[in-house]
C-alpha cells in the first residue's frame, strides 16, 4: 500500500527535489505551496504526465486554519498522511540592528510556527495509527549560528529544539521525529550569492562542492523509510563538512 507524504514549501528548490524523488519511489505526494502557484502546478503536471501520484494544495503554513483545510483535503484524496516534511521557510540577511519587528515576527511565523502548525495538524492521526515520520528541515546556521542572520539562525535553532523534544514525547507512539540541517545548497534561495562568495564557500567546505537539492531529498527519503526505524531525535547536518 502506498504511503503518503506531505511536503511543505514544495514548489521549488529542495522541496521540489523531494517531491520528485518521493513520487518516483511510489509515494503519494502532497505538494504544498503558498505563493508559487505556477511552479507548483507545473511540478504537479510534470509528475502526473509520468503517471505518478501527486496533488498540489495551497496553504499558508503560518495560518493553522489553512493548514487544517489542506490536511483534510489530503485525507479525502489519499487517506492518512504517513510522512510530514516541514520544509517551508524563508531567509533574510540583515545586520541585527536593522532587523525590524516585522522581519522577526515573519521569520518566526513561517520557519517555526509553520512547523508547529503542520505537525499539530497531522500528529493526532499518527498517534492513533501508532506510526508516523516527521522530518524537519532546519539549517546548519541553526546549529552554529550565522552573522547577519541572527533571526534566521534563532528560529532554525528552535526547529532543532522542537525536534528533540517532540521525538521524546511521541516515540512511545511509534513516531520518528528527525531533523536535517542543510548547508549551502544550489537553490533559488541562495541565488543572491555572488560567484566570489560561492567559490569561497566551496574552498571552506572539505568536500569542495556546493550541495544540490537531491542531496537533501535522498537523506529525507531514508529518514522516511523503515530503514530508519531506530533513528529519532537526531539532527543530521548535510553541509559537505563546512561546520565540522
What residues make up the domain containing 87? Answer: 4-238
CATH number of the domain encompassing residue 161? 3.40.50.720
The phi, psi pair for 182, rounded to 5°, reads -70, 155
Q: Going residue by residue through the chain, which has 244 residues, state the pLDDT in tens, using 9 for 90 and above.
A: 899 999 999 999 999 999 999 999 999 999 999 999 999 999 999 999 999 999 999 999 999 999 999 999 999 999 999 999 999 999 999 999 999 999 999 999 999 999 999 999 999 999 999 999 999 999 999 999 999 999 999 999 999 999 999 999 999 999 999 999 999 999 876 667 778 888 898 999 999 999 999 999 999 999 999 999 999 999 999 999 999 9
Residue at 243 is within a domain: no
In a domain, residue 138? The reply is yes
* Start-end of H helices in the chain: 13-24, 37-48, 64-78, 101-108, 114-129, 140-144, 150-170, 195-204, 213-224
Catalytic residue, chosen from 64, 131, 152, 196, is 152
Return the closest-CA partner of residue 92 out of 109, 72, 78, 76. Answer: 109
Q: Using alpha carbons, select from 53, 70, 54 the residue that is nearest to residue 62.
A: 70
Q: Which helix (H) or strand (E) holds 194?
A: none
pLDDT at 199: 87
Instruction: Give the strand order in the sheet containing 175-182.
Output: 54-58, 28-33, 4-7, 83-86, 132-137, 175-182, 235-238
Any domain includes 19: yes
Residue 186 lies in a domain: yes
- Amino acid 194: pLDDT: 79
- For residue 244, being part of any structural domain is answered with no
Q: What pLDDT shows up at residue 196?
A: 85
Q: Is 33 within a domain?
A: yes
Active site residue 27: no
Domain-embedded: residue 229: yes
The residue count of the chain comes to 244
As a whole number of angstroms, the distance between CA 141 and CA 154 comes to: 8
Q: How many domains does the chain have?
A: 1
Residues 177 and 163: beta-carbon distance below 8 Å: yes
Q: 210-238: string of b/e by CB count within 10 Å (b at 16+)?
A: bbebebbbebbbebbeeebeeebeebbbb
Q: What does the pLDDT read at residue 1?
A: 85
Beta bridge partner(s), residue 7: 31, 85
pLDDT of amino acid 154: 98
Amino acid at each position: 500500500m502506498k504511503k503518503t507524504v506531505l511536503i511543505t514549501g514544495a514548489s521549488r528548490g529542495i522541496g521540489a527535489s523531494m517531491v520528485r524523488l518521493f513520487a518516483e519511489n511510489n509515494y503519494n505526494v502532497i505538494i504544498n505551496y503558498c505563493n508559487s502557484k505556477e511552479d507548483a502546478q507545473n511540478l504537479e503536471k510534470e509528475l502526473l504526465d509520468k503517471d505518478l501520484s501527486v496533488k498540489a494544495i495551497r496553504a499558508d503554513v503560518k495560518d493553522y486554519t489553512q493548514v487544517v483545510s489542506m490536511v483534510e483535503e489530503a485525507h479525502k484524496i489519499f487517506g492518512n498522511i504517513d510522512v510530514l516534511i516541514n520544509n517551508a521557510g524563508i531567509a533574510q540577511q540583515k545586520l541585527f540592528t536593522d532587523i525590524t519587528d516585522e522581519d522577526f515576527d515573519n521569520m518566526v511565523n513561517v520557519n517555526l510556527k509553520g512547523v508547529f502548525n503542520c505537525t499539530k495538524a497531522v500528529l493526532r492521526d499518527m498517534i492513533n495509527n501508532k506510526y508516523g515520520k516527521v522530518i524537519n528541515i532546519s539549517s546548519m546556521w541553526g546549529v552554529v549560528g550565522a552573522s547577519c542572520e541572527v533571526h534566521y539562525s534563532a528560529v532554525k535553532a528552535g526547529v532543532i529544539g522542537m525536534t528533540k523534544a517532540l521525538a521524546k514525547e511521541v516515540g512511545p507512539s511509534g513516531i520518528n521525529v528527525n531533523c536535517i540541517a542543510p548547508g549551502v545548497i544550489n537553490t533559488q534561495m541562495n541565488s543572491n550569492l555572488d560567484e566570489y562568495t560561492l567559490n569561497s564557500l566551496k574552498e571552506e567546505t572539505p568536500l569542495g562542492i556546493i550541495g544540490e537539492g537531491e542531496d537533501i531529498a535522498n537523506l529525507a527519503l531514508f529518514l522516511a523509510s523503515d530503514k530508519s526505524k531506530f533513528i529519532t531525535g537526531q539532527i543530521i547536518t548535510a553541509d559537505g563538512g563546512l561546520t565540522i
